Amino acid sequence: MFYRQAGDFKTSYRGDIQTFPLKQDRIGYYLVLAIAFLVVPFLLNDYWVSAVILPFLIFAIAALGLNILTGYCGQVSLGTGGFMAVGAYACYKLMTAFPEMNMFVVVLGSGIVTAAVGLLFGIPSLRIKGFYLAVATLAAQFFLVWLFNKVPWFYNYSASGQINAPERLMMGFAITGPNASPAARYLFCLVILVALAVVARNLTRGRVGRSWMAIRDMDIAAEIIGVNPLKTKLSAFAVSSFFVGVAGALFFSVYLGAVEVTEAFGINQSFLVLFMIIIGGLGSIFGSFAGAAFLVLMPVLLKNIMVGGLGWPTDIAAHIEFIIVGGLIVLFLIAEPHGLAQLWRIAKEKLLLWPFPH
């Protein structure tokens, strides 16, 4: 009754293809944006920013990226951690080589470097499919991490082998380094996330997005319609890696500040992002957000209940987290392969009828 589409007529195709065709959805979207930009920054404290909010924003970017490749184009990648590492190290090299460079430019550049690397590892995708490709992306994961560990040029010959983000300002506020305020770091990541989410939405609703999905659903038919499989898959690899690279750059520079590559960007990071899009919803922008939020929040919640509430040792909480995450993956694949996004859609369809279901 209150949430409805009746009376919301479209008189132009432009009106019909917008992101939120329903007026109420549109209002909701602007409301969320307004709260995120104008209200949340004043409520932040250090714990929330570093435990929940920054990881959520950054993993949402990575999940958007992987969803483009896996959810929209149907190419499974287990190399997300490796590509995040590329973004992080590109960011570090750019920050240290060009100290005056604007941080937006640095992050953008990190994404572009990662896109180029992703393109390279995407080449085998022309000839191989499915889990064969998944194994090929494992090569990227292990090789890249090894490379950043072994070639001192990447970490500027530092003795520890770590990379540390120097302080950089944005409009007078520090956003990296130890003096960065929670609000400044939050806003910087939020701006990038919102911009990239809009880009992801634009790409997936138009010609490129349809060609990705065509390759995913029926590659032979797609080819006969005129879709060049190599170009299409490579474009998905490049765009996806760009997103993942940006996420890696932010993860290093804004979130962690100091990174040791095998710890921060190991294979488990690849799985984490993959799980986000499975639970959130393959082939859905909203799903990328939902999945990232879910998998960032759940461990925090579990830890608070089990360690904080019940006083159990942390290792037990960690094991139970593994059990729950693994179980949920299987459960979602069985019961709802389109993830939280589909549950949300169903809920909205129900809401359209509520409270008069007939």
Partner 1 sequence: MVSRSDARAVDPGSELLRVDNISLSFGGVKALTDVSFDILRGEVRAIIGPNGAGKSSMLNVINGFYHPQEGEVWFAGEKRRNPKPHNIAYQGIARTFQNIALFKGMSTLDNIMTGRFTHMNQNLLMQALWRGPAEREEIANREKAEEIIDFLEIQAIRKTPVGRLPYGLQKRVELGRALAAEPELLLLDEPMAGMNVEEKEDMSRFILDVKDEFGTTIALIEHDMGVVMDISDRVVVLDYGKKIGDGTPQQVRSDQTVIDAYLGVAHDE
Partner 2 sequence: MSPQFLFTIEVIANGLMAGVMYSLVALGFVLIFKASGIFNYAQGVMALFAAMTLVGIQNGQVPFSHLINAVFGTNIHHFGWNLPAIVAILITLVVMVLFAILVERLILKHLVNQEPIILFMATIGLAYFMEGFGDLMWGSEIKILDVGIPSGGSLWLEEKTIGWAAEGSNYYGMYIDKLDMIATVVAILLVISLTLFSQYTKTGRALRAVADDHQAALSVGISLRKIWVIVWTIAGFVALVAGVMWGAKSGVQFSLSLIALKALPVLILGGFTSIPGAIIGGLIIGVGEKLFEFTIGPLIGGATENWFAYVLALVFLVFRPQGLFGDKIIERV
Is 328 a binding residue for partner 2 by CB under 8 A? The answer is yes
Residue 210 partner contact from partner 1, partner 2, none using kind-dependent CB cut-offs of 5 to 8 Å:
partner 1
Q: With binding defined as CB under 8 A, does residue 135 bind partner 2?
A: yes
**Nearer to partner 1 by C-beta: 205 or 266?**
205
List the one residue from 160, 315, 357, 358 that touches partner 2 (CB under 8 A): 315
Q: Does the footprint of partner 2 cover residue 274 (CB under 8 A)? A: yes
Measured from the CB of residue 94, what is the shortest distance to partner 2 in angstroms?
A: 24
**Residues in contact with partner 2, shown as a per-residue x/- string from 229 to 268 under the rule CB under 8 A:** --------------------------------------x-
Q: Which two tokens stand for residue 332?
A: 């979602």
Q: Alpha-carbon distance 188 to 92, whole Å?
A: 17
CB nearer to partner 1: give 241 or 270.
Answer: 241
Q: Exactly one of 10, 150, 231, 350 binds partner 2 (CB under 8 A); which one?
A: 150
Contacting partner 2 within 64-83 (CB under 8 A): 74, 76
C-beta separation of 56 from 292 below 8 A: yes
Torsion angle, CA of 214/111/145/161, rounded to 10 degrees?
Answer: -170
Residue 170, Cβ density class (10 Å: 0-12 exposed, 13-18 middle, ≥19 buried): middle
Pick from partner 1, partner 2, none: which does 150 bind, CB < 5 to 8 A by kind? partner 2
Query: Residue 265 CA to chain centroid, in angstroms?
Result: 14
- The residue among 308 and 313 lying less far from partner 2, judged by its C-beta, is 313
Among 20, 29, 47, 146, contact with partner 2 (rule: CB under 8 A): 146
Distance of alpha carbon 245 from alpha carbon 62, whole angstroms: 8
183 is a site residue for partner 2 (CB under 8 A) = no
Residue with tokens 């896109």: 115
Answer with the entry of partner 1, partner 2, none that 203 interacts with (C-beta below 5 to 8 A by kind).
Answer: partner 1
Is residue 312 a contact residue for partner 2 (CB under 8 A)? yes
- Residue with smaller CB distance to partner 1, 208 or 325: 208
Q: Which is nearer to partner 1, 163 or 227 (CB)?
A: 227
**Chain contacts with partner 1 (rule: CB under 8 A):** 12-14, 17, 199, 202-203, 206-208, 210-211, 213-214, 216-218, 220-229, 235, 239, 283
CB of residue 325 vs partner 2: minimum separation in angstroms?
6
| Partner from partner 2, partner 1, none binding residue 161, C-beta < 5-8 Å depending on class | none
Q: Which does 309 bind (CB under 5 to 8 A by kind): partner 1, partner 2, none?
A: none
Q: Site size for partner 2, by CB under 8 A?
A: 50
Which of the choices partner 1, partner 2, none does residue 146 contact, using the CB cut-off of 5 to 8 A by kind?
partner 2
123, 195, 198, 347: which one contacts partner 2 (CB under 8 A)?
Answer: 123
Assign 3-class secondary structure to the chain: CCCCCCCCCCCCHHHHCCCCCCHHHHHHHHHHHHHHHHHHHHHCCHHHHHHHHHHHHHHHHHHHHHHHHHHHCCCCCCCHHHHHHHHHHHHHHHHHHCCCCCHHHHHHHHHHHHHHHHHHHHHHHHCCCHHHHHHHHHHHHHHHHHHHHHCHHHHCCCCCCCEECCCCEECCEECCCCCCCHHHHHHHHHHHHHHHHHHHHHHHHCHHHHHHHHHHHCHHHHHHHCCCHHHHHHHHHHHHHHHHHHHHHHHHHHHHCEECHHHHCCHHHHHHHHHHHHHHCCCCHHHHHHHHHHHHHHHHHHHHHHHHHCCCCHHHHHHHHHHHHHHHHHHHHHHCCCHHHHHHHHHHHHHHHCCCCC
Contacts with partner 2, residue ranges (CB under 8 A): 74, 76, 123-124, 127-128, 130-132, 134-136, 138-139, 141-143, 145-146, 149-151, 220, 267, 271, 274-275, 278, 310-313, 315-316, 318-330, 333-334, 337
